[in-house]
Structure 1
Amino acid sequence: MTGGVKIRHALAERGDDFYPTPLEAVRSLLDVERVYLPERIWEPACGDGAIVLPFREAGYQVHASDLVGRGCPDSEAGLDFLKPFAMPRGLGGIVTNPPYKHAQAFVDRALDIVPYVAMLLRLSFLEGQARRPWFEKTPLARVWVSSARLPMMHRDGWDGPVATSTTAFAWFVWDARHEGSPRIRWFDWRQHQ
């Protein structure tokens, strides 16, 4: 607690970690990664369609699935991305806002399937002595840091006060076509609306 405001929810409160993705983040990714995004992607934690729908509207073919059905149109429910099952064919990339408690496992699984992966994660995902060797074996292509805080992502079913975000987010991109060190760039979501 800081000044009476709870900064982080306990894992038990977060349940399956569903925090709908702000449209502002999705539109920004569509703009900043436009030249890199594959035509056919998979959103394996599609939730209510927050990433799927804007991508489809922009002309991308999107296969959508999730562990839990949350109303995303034309999606498959009951698929645990981290478990083996028949993969969709012809995919060029995976774009998702994964459950943060499984973020690294989502990246590992995605990179086993496709050459292009973009994940919306806390900027703090870059931190940690244990994660450093993993990043050295799993090199990033680009990190798009949101220079203006994204609108708050409240967990599904949240009925408390709506607050501004205290967390920095970034789009982390792994791209097999990239050579050299990762590129760090910034975006202001207000410029991509």
Structure 2
Amino acid sequence: MTEPGSAEIRVLVVDDHPVFRLGMSALLGSLAGVTVVGDAEDAEAAHAAVDAHRPDVVLMDLHLGEDSGIEATRDVVRRHPDVAVLVITMQEDDESVVASIRAGARGYLLKGASPDEVERALRAVANGEMILGPKVAARAMAAVTSGRTAARVPFPELTDREREVLDLVARGYDNTTISRRLVLSPKTVRNHVANVLNKIGAPDRSAAIVVAREGGLGAD
């Protein structure tokens, strides 16, 4: 990880929108002491880029096509504990903030952040600090002062897509119906179901339905 006073912060930009990746890379590349070592559009490409370039900071969107940025964050932090993840997203709900921090992100910004806010957050997480953007911090403070707690995300070990699939399984839909509803191929649905069973520790589909309903999924 880059230490305070070091000459360079190496950054990887992960987002499924090419225009955003280009714009953010250009902004970061214009900052003193910051080098953009690459970009990626999905979780698989992000993991390969982190392995290849070992950046100090990964800027991570939460929605990467069918992939979950929260799951990608968890995997990056697990595989490379010295890499700081700074989430930058359109999502400002409490659940996304909590899930990101639990996954290991060191910062959380909204995409409407100013260039100065992005630079400040980048340098903070590179130096081992935790930082929330102004709007996110205001929401967090409001939640604390009002005595509220963020709603629990059911099955946080699942990606957003896997949680959708499990919800439909819990509703009693078969794979063919799920594939039509989510506009996915039957093979992709089968893979998602297999991953879900493994992650939640269910031996079969019937057991998964029970676990899912106990966790609050599958309700009409």
Range class of TM-score, shorter chain: 0.3 to 0.5
Q: Tell me the TM-score normalised to structure 2 length.
A: 0.37
- Greater helix share, structure number: 2
Q: Considering only CA atoms, is the larger Rg found in Structure 1 or Structure 2?
A: 2
TM-score normalised by length of structure 1: 0.41
By percentage of residues, which structure has more strand? 1
